[in-house]
Every structure is written in C-alpha cells, then in structure tokens.
Amino acid sequence: MFSKLLIANRGEIACRVIRTARRLGIRTVAVYSDADDDALHVALADEAVRIGPAPAAESYLSIERIIAAARSVGADAIHPGYGFLSENADFAAAVEAAGMVFVGPSPDAIRAMGLKDAAKALMERAGVPVVPGYHGEEQDAAFLTAQAAEIGYPVLIKARAGGGGKGMRRVDRPEDFGSALEAARREAEAAFGDGSVLIEKYLSRPRHIEVQVFGDRQGNIVHLFERDCSLQRRHQKVIEEAPAPGMTAEVRRAMGDAAVRAARAIGYVGAGTVEFIADVTDGLWPDQFFFMEMNTRLQVEHPVTEAITGFDLVEWQLRVAAGEPLPKKQSDIHIDGWSFEARIYAEDPAKGFLPAIGRLKHLHFPDGNVRIDSGVRQRDMVTPYYDPLIAKLIVHGPNRSAALGQLQAALKECRIGGTVTNLDFLIRLTEEHDFRSGRPDTGLIDREIERLTAPVAPNDEALALAAIVATGVLDPVVTSDPWSSLGYWQIWGDAQRTVTIEQGGSRWAATLRARGRDQFAVHAGSSTLPVLVLERFEDGARLEVSGQKRLFRFLRDGETLTLFLGGRNWVFHLPDSLSGGHSSEVADDELIAPMPGLIKLVRVGAGEAVSKGQPLVVMEAMKMELTLSATREGKVASVHVAEGAQVSEGTVLVKLDEEAAE
C-alpha cells in the first residue's frame, strides 16, 4: 500500500478521500489555491501545498503544478477525485512518467472513453447498444444541421469531451439548431478545450441509469449494480438512488453484462461508471437501454452504491491501484436495502438554478443515521471560482419507502444561512408524485419546474416569529434591560413596536404589543397571535404560539433574517426604516451581472434596437454559461463591458435608453 497520497482536488471529494486514506494508514497531502488556503480539505490533510491563484486553470487544472507539488513532498500516488483533471489522459500519463501511481485507469482507457463519438463507435463493436445519432468527425455547421434533420427532432447536442451537462443542448425545432450549436460549442470549448459535438436522438421519456464497474490489474471486472440518476436540472444530477426503481432481474442482468463488456473492451482498471439512457415510454425492457458514455473516475453519487453494497469504493480504488486484486467476486456482491443521495447547492432554483455565493454563517446537518459528505464548515465562503456544492446528504433504509421517508426528514432538519440554497426545492422534489411512485425520468423537473420553484408565501405564524426576531426581544442583552425591552408594563399603556418585513417581493407590517414580561400579541398577516417566550437560545427560542409550543432557530445578518421553522428555511429582508426604503428590483433599463463572472459574448452595440427576451450578454460563472436577456423592448443607450472582461456582482453591463421605457 502507498505511504503518502496526494489528492489532486478540493472540497467534498478531497475530504472523502482523505478520510479513507487515514483509516488505511496512508499519509495525505492536500493541494490548494489562494481561494482555498483555509479550506476544510487543507485542515484535514497531513500536509498541504499551494498550487496557484484562485482560477482553476492556474491551480487545480495545472498538471505541471500538481506534479511539482507531489514531487516536493515525496508522494508515491495521486488520487484525482472527480472533475478537474480526473479524466485527463495527459495528467494520468504525467503522473506515471513522474514515477508515481495514478489512482485510476490507464491513459489509454481514459482516451478511449474521453471522446464520446469514438467511445460510441467502440461500444458498437463491443456489442453494447448505443443511442441513434451522428457520432462522426465532421463538424461543419451545415452538415450537422442536416444530420439533425435526418435524425428527427427533438435532438440533443452533446460535447464529445467531458461531462456534467457542459456543452449540452436540447433542440426541439430546426430554426433553433444554429444558435444552440454555437452555445454548446462555446461552453464545451471553455470547459474541456474541445468544441466538437455529436448529435443524438432525444428520447421522449428517458431515464438515466448507470452501472458502477470495477476492474483490477489481474483482468477481473465486476459491476456493483445500478444507480438511477434521472432527476436532473441543466443536465446535472440532483437526487440519485440505488437500486433503480422498477428494475427487473432481467434488465439488471442485461445492463450489468453490457457494462462489464464495455469495461472489458478497454482493459479497464479501477472505478468507472457506464451510463445508459433507457426509453421507459412502455416501462423498462432489456432491449430499450442505450450506452451514453463511460466516466473513467469515481462518481459524485458513489455513496449510494456504497450504502447498498457495504463496500468503501475509495478503499477499492487504492487497493487496486496498489496492485491488489479486487476484494470480491461478482457472486459475492449483493444489494442490501435502498439509498438516496441529495445534492445541496448554493443556488437559486427560482432564478433558473443560478449559482450563489456567500458565507455560510449558519450550517447544521442532521445527526443519526444520515451520512453527510461535505467540504465546508460553518463560516466558510462559497466562492465564485468553483462548483457551489455545499454537501451531499445520503440515507439508507431497508426499502425505497423507508429510505425516501428518511431523506425527506433529513432535508427538513438541515439549516443553512448566509446564502440561498436549493433545500426547499429538494424537499418539494421528494414530494412529487411520479418520483414518490418510483417513476422518475429526466424530463420530470422541467415538466414540474413552475410548481417546484414557485415562491411560497409565509403563513401568519412565520411572519409573527420573524417580527419577534426583528424587534430584538429575543436578544439576551436587550431583554435584560427593562428600559429597552417590550416585555415590561408602561404607565402610558402597553409597549408596542411595528416592524416591516419583506419576502419574495411582498411586504408586511407586523406589530408587537407587550402583554407582560415575555408575553406579546403579534399582529402579522391576517391575524393576531398570542406569543409567550419560554426559553431563549443563542440562535433560537422555544415559544408558545396560540397555545402550541414551537422550537425554532434563526440567523440575523444585518438586514437579512433567515428563519428555520417546520422544515423550511425562510429568508426575510428587514429594511432600515431610516434609509428611505429598499427595493430588490433593478430598473428595467439596466442589465446587471447577477454574480461575479467572465464576459464571453456581447451581442449588442450602442444604438441598436432590442426586443424583450433578446439575448444581450453571455457570461461564464461557477462553471456555467449564463445568457442575460433584455427585460423589455427598447434601444441600447450604452454598453459597459467588453468580451473577456471579469466583472463583479451588480456590475451594469448594458443600459437601455430611459426615454424608451414604458
């Protein structure tokens, strides 16, 4: 076994690898950029080496700097994690050339599966079914347009390199193909340095089912059953489960055999995932699934496979890389129960899952039989440089119903303050009928997006509790002072205070009237609620509201109040009454950068007429391409940015002529 392992990654996966390596007695080395100098993976490792500034291209994607770091500390192996350089054949070759072991497949195996078009041709020869489409070398736009027409709409444009939904576009109409092709190529070039694409038939009701495979240097290959990853937004997975619901023994055997054939065709060593897309219009059938791609690395969702098999896949990776045979034969691998994984992101589902940044000022995850894989701690910063994943929440139960119940309960116990998250979206998704019934498909989120992301107005109780926090009556310092507290009788009558609360574009005035020490009548929304303060905590309180006891937590951060109540994270804005009012709305005549990012394209110039919804600027932020469009019809008064510029959140990018505004 290795004596010192360098992890060429960051965040959650780096922490995950470090924990297994430590259990095996292997010393670990973290690498970090300037943005991660105080990150959790740096604190957990035995040693840490700086590899460059914050941009990934100058740090986590620099082969030279990572190899130099490994040499400087005497590492004898490098684990690539997932993302970044994990599927880069040149990196694997450089590790081997430097006399170290790459914990993963050979450079040749990575290359064989690295380009989707070549991989599909190889799979066809190996007898693995592939999706109908064009997988050739010709990349002329007119030629690809003709191929799409021949395949028949809708079609899917996919980058031939990389994964994670980058460089992927669904096209429903011929007139949209050209612009979608341009966008897919741009995104693919930015993410993988390769703008080439392939065109495939888009299946009307597809499910994304993948099979975990493992190979060793002795030629043994096994599979560890399947995972269903159909719940996706922007072609990126949200909730995964294992095994796949509705899977029959016949289909499982066919998929497992196809996955092993795929791995054997390239002499695969290490952990890999063979991804299939299944047409479930008429259910799951052994002749209705098709090869999509093979990920030559550990997957983000590997914990659900670990949960149902009982094996540590990182340990398997390390043992196989060290030359040991696989620890189990196929006949020794069995399914035990059911597992779900939910990815908790700093993102705003109501704004198209726009990634968010911010400091995690409050971070609480459930205890008990819940696994949390995370690379952050309370007070850490979600930066604009990397993927905004906060944590993966994994549950395991004896069956699907029990595991799903655990997932819902665990998500409702999470409390995250300081940045917007997708927690409420995840909870609603677990309650969606088709998912609960075991009928997920890749189009489910898109079909239900309005319902899943629609704002929910706070009820009167939530408004009352927010008002109580806003007045400061739960602050121990304030309540200890009888002259400033609302909780004392005054000679001129009951003390009272009115506060303004904003949430989701709505505004309420709430009035608290003291009825005695720690007793209040709170008028909020459409009712007046009697409230008794029973106990105060540093970040919460136990109250009696209308005769019912309530325990809740909160985070007050300037004018932002996050209320954790009943499994929801309510975020309120508390405008300063002396500031003349606040507005969360931006004038229609200004196009504003929603977050820090790089300007990729500017599609308009001063003096040009634009229509509502017309794309004006394309920017890249947090590994995602964002298209910013005009909010109204008008004429461009001025353009304030150029292509290639790095902008901060709130920067005015384009301004429309004010005189044209309605």
Residues known to be catalytic: 297
Distance CA 645, CA 236 (A): 27
Distance CA 428, CA 451 (A): 9
Q: What is the CA radius of gyration of the chain?
A: 27
The residue type at 356: A
Helices and strands (H, E) in the chain, number of each type: 18, 39
Question: Count of CB atoms within 10 A of residue 535's CB?
Answer: 10
Distance CA 14, CA 28 (A): 10
Contact 188, 269 (CB under 8 A): no
Contact 320, 269 (CB under 8 A): yes
Q: Say how many residues make up the chain.
A: 662
Residue 624 C-beta-side C-alpha neighbours within 13 Å: 23
Distance CA 59, CA 121 (A): 34
Distance CA 508, CA 465 (A): 13
Tokens of 512: 């608290």
The conformation of residue 141, written as its DSSP 8-state character, comes to H
* DSSP string for 234-269: TTEEEEEEES-TT--HHHHHHHHHHHHHHHHHTT--
In sequence order, which residues have a C-beta less than 8 Å from that of residue 580 and are 6 or more positions away? none
Distance CA 347, CA 61 (A): 24
The conformation of residue 448, written as its DSSP 8-state character, comes to T
Q: How far is CA 484 from CA 297, 489, 537, 564, in A?
A: 60, 12, 20, 26
Q: Which residue, chain included where needed, has tokens 């971070």? A: 363
**φ, ψ at 432 (rounded to 5°):** -70, 140
List, in sequence order, every beta strand (DSSP E) within 430-518: 496-503, 506-516
Ordered alpha helix ranges (H), 4-62? 11-23, 40-44
Angle between helices 107-114 and 89-97 (to 10 degrees): 170
